[in-house]
Structure 1
Amino acid sequence: MTHPQSIGILEKKFGNRLQQQVALQNYATARVGGAAAWFVTVRNANELADAVQICWDHNLKFFLLGSGSNVLFSDDGFNGLVILNHAKKIEMKISGEHPTLWVESGASLGLVARKAALAGLSGLEWAATVPGTVGGAIYGNAGAHGSDMHSNLLLAEILQHEGGKSIWKNEDFQFSYRSSIFKRQRRSGVILSATLNCEYDDPQKIKERMNVFSEYRRRTQPPGASMGSMFKNPPGDYAGRLIEAAGLKGYTIAGVKVSEVHANFFVNSDQATASDIYNLVQHVQKTVKKEFNVELELEVEMIGFNPTANNDKANHGKASI
């Protein structure tokens, strides 16, 4: 891949933060994946917008990476620019009747929830143990414990390939279960920042609720290198229940296995490759389809695999959680 003009502009803008042949396994929670041809870390929303705009202007393929959960890079890596989103500024508006949080899209969702709790702001308790960034959580409508980003988002600043910057209201995202219009339609755009709704409450009561959710997570989700929930829950059922009922709990391919704690988690237990995980995904999908006639839909984004609906269609502005 050669894009000398765009690479030159990126080097001028970001200096030695622009790197070549960076191992993506170091930035993915599954600890697998090949190298990114180019890699840059952005530190605020303005830098994020600049990096993305340069890519669009020069037709340079890019992938926006958050915390590295809910994404699987192939062993071949990514033949373009990976933008690591470290835009993490958080501002609280705690005067008036309706408190809000303004956060840049690279901020850790769990950290935002914990900071809100310390300030006596309720509404994000569900997010305290959810991995990922705010931008990725909006993109995929992340949720837990009966709530999700749809319940908290007030506004977001968006940068689109055609149209520039704009402010989107909650309803503009057309949220659905673990999805938004950004994700469903592969919108060519990125989320720069967001304003989240909160409510006032006693910090101790908020902490107690968060502790309940944290304990539940410890009991029901496996430790180790994984991507989080692998599949979306089908209507009226649970992906983990179907996988377990199909006899696949503990099933192993090379170094990756279906977790014995929660069957909707695949754990890299012994130096697995991305191909191992991909093969296990296909085996589980085929087995569940055969046993129950249910198509399990991936919640994890697969980048660099062929054929897959989640492949490089998204590489003009997709955000990983």
Structure 2
Amino acid sequence: TSFRIGGPADLYAVATSSQELVVLVSLAREHDIPYLVIGRGTNILVADKGIRGLVIENGGQEIWFDNDAVLYAESGALLGDLARESARRGLGGLEWAVGIPGSVGGAIVGNAGAYGCYIGGVTREATVLAADGTVRELSAAEMGFGYRTSRFKGQAGEGQQEVILSAEFALRPEPAQELAEKMADYTRRRETSQPTEPSVGSVFKRTRQYPAGFLIEQAGLKGTRIGGAQISPKHANFIVNLGGARALDVKALIDLAQEQVREQFGIDLELEIELVGEWNG
């Protein structure tokens, strides 16, 4: 994962296309093997004891465009690659995603966004492998997009989750030079405000009143370290791996931030990342 933290998986396989993804998930279901589909692991914290069953890395990265400014992408494609290729073709709508390291599937699960834009705002349709083994199309309305969430969020590890295979995005014609300038600006802003150490991005969702990082900083926790993990001195909603961090170190910082913000401000911080693997026992 991008955190470079977490124990081993019992079994690990890479799907290089959406067709292979269907085969691997179907085999796991047929043999009653617990499974977890991951993209680039940029929004998960894996337990130190690892993950029981099969982990499937979604490596299907095919993308294509039609003549009506519609982009089609397999769910393993990198969101940043889509942003750059769309902009190069003079198609806007994803330029805000240039610095987001995750995959299309992961972006849809968490309704990824930046600078006031969200993946749900440009998603037209998704093809999914349903729990009953059928492949079906879901409209954007059916995907239940909300702030950093969708109908798919929280299904990880349930064993019968819906698996996103591909998606369609409705883009808009826009001068390529203007898009390039926007992406350069977004990249500069991201590099200025976010840490460079291994992390999984924002740990908590924004609260109704304030950004989570602001509350954590006001609680006096910016720079707090437990083991090899630290609440970033650069951005308090990032927890970074300084080297050799354990998942339990990160979880301790998560618990500390939630406890102190609740105690000092009466506000509950909700996780944006997902905890996966064997956390109990």
Q: Counterpart of 2:254?
A: 281
The separation in 2 between residues aligned to 1:50 and 1:304, in whole angstroms, is 23
Matched, 1:257 2:230: yes
What is the TM-score with the length of structure 2 in the denominator?
A: 0.96
* Mapping of residues 5-84 of structure 1, within 5 Å: 28-84=1-57
* TM-fit CA distance, 1:299: 0.7
Distance (Å, rounded) in 1 between the aligned partners of 2:277 and 2:268: 22
Give matches, 1:167-178, under 5 Å: 167-178=137-148
The answer for the alignment partner of 2:94 in structure 1 is 124
* Structure that is richer in helix per residue: 1
* Residue 243 of structure 2: aligned partner: 270
Question: What corresponds to 1:11 in structure 2?
Answer: none
Q: Which of 163, 180, 188 is the matching residue for 1:207? A: 180
Contact 2:52–2:278 (CA under 8 A) maintained in structure 1: no
Gap runs ≥5 in structure 2: none
Deviations 1:167-219 (A, max 9, x none): 11110011100000121566721000001111111111100011111111011
Say if 1:109 and 1:137, in contact at 8 Å, map to a contact too.
yes
C-alpha distance in 2 between matches for 1:229 and 1:305: 22
For 2:154 and 2:8, the matched residues in 1 are separated by 27
CA contact (8 A) 1:56 1:161 kept: no
Change (3 A) 1:40 1:76: same
* Per-residue deviation, residues 15-73 of structure 1 (Å, max 9, x unmatched): xxxxxxxxxxxxx1111111111000110000001111111122110111111111011
Q: Distance in 1 between matches of 2:135 and 2:278?
A: 31
Q: How far 1:131 moved relative to its partner?
A: 1.7
Cα drift, residue 117 of structure 1: 0.8
1:5 — aligned with what? none
Provide Cα deviations, 1:254-286, integer angstroms capped at 9, x if missing partner.
Answer: 111100110000011131111111111111111
**2:104 equivalent in structure 1:** 134
Q: 1:166 aligns with which of 123, 130, 136?
A: 136
8 Å CA contact 2:49–2:279 kept in 1: the answer is: no
For the 8 Å contact 2:50–2:278, the answer to whether it is kept is no
Structure 1 residue 304 displacement after superposition: 2.4
Q: Is the 8 A contact 1:150 1:170 kept in 2?
A: yes
Q: Structure 1-normalised TM-score?
A: 0.84
Partner Cα separation in structure 1 for residue 9 and residue 137 of structure 2 = 31
* Contact 2:111 2:149 survives alignment (8 Å): yes
Deviation track 1:217-245 (CA, whole Å, cap 9, x = no partner) reads 01111101111100011112110000000
Tell me if the contact between 1:89 and 1:107 (Cα under 8 Å) persists in the aligned partners: yes
Aligned: 1:193 with 2:166: yes
Match of 1:313 in 2: none
How large is the RMSD of aligned CA atoms in angstroms?
A: 1.2
Give 1:290's match in structure 2, choosing from 263, 268, 278.
263
Which secondary structure state, in structure 2, belongs to the residue aligned with residue 227 of structure 1?
coil
Which amino acid is the alignment partner of residue 264 of structure 1? N
Per the TM alignment, residue 306 of structure 1 is displaced from its structure 2 partner at its CA by 3.9
Would you say the 8 A contact 1:42–1:85 is kept in 2?
A: yes
Structure 1 residues not aligned, in runs of 5+: 1-27, 308-321
- Deviating above 4 A after TM superposition, structure 1's stretches of 4 or more consecutive aligned residues are 184-187
User: Larger deviation: 199-208 or 182-191?
Assistant: 182-191
The one-letter code sitting in structure 2 at the alignment partner of 1:107 is A
Aligned partner of 2:182: which letter? Answer: R
Letter in 1 for 2:225: T
Match for residue 65 of structure 2 among 92, 96, 113:
92
1:163–1:48 Cα change, 3 Å: closer
SS in 1 for 2:153: helix
> Which one is further off, 154-163 or 243-252?
154-163
* Aligned partners of 1:45 and 1:192 also within 8 Å: yes
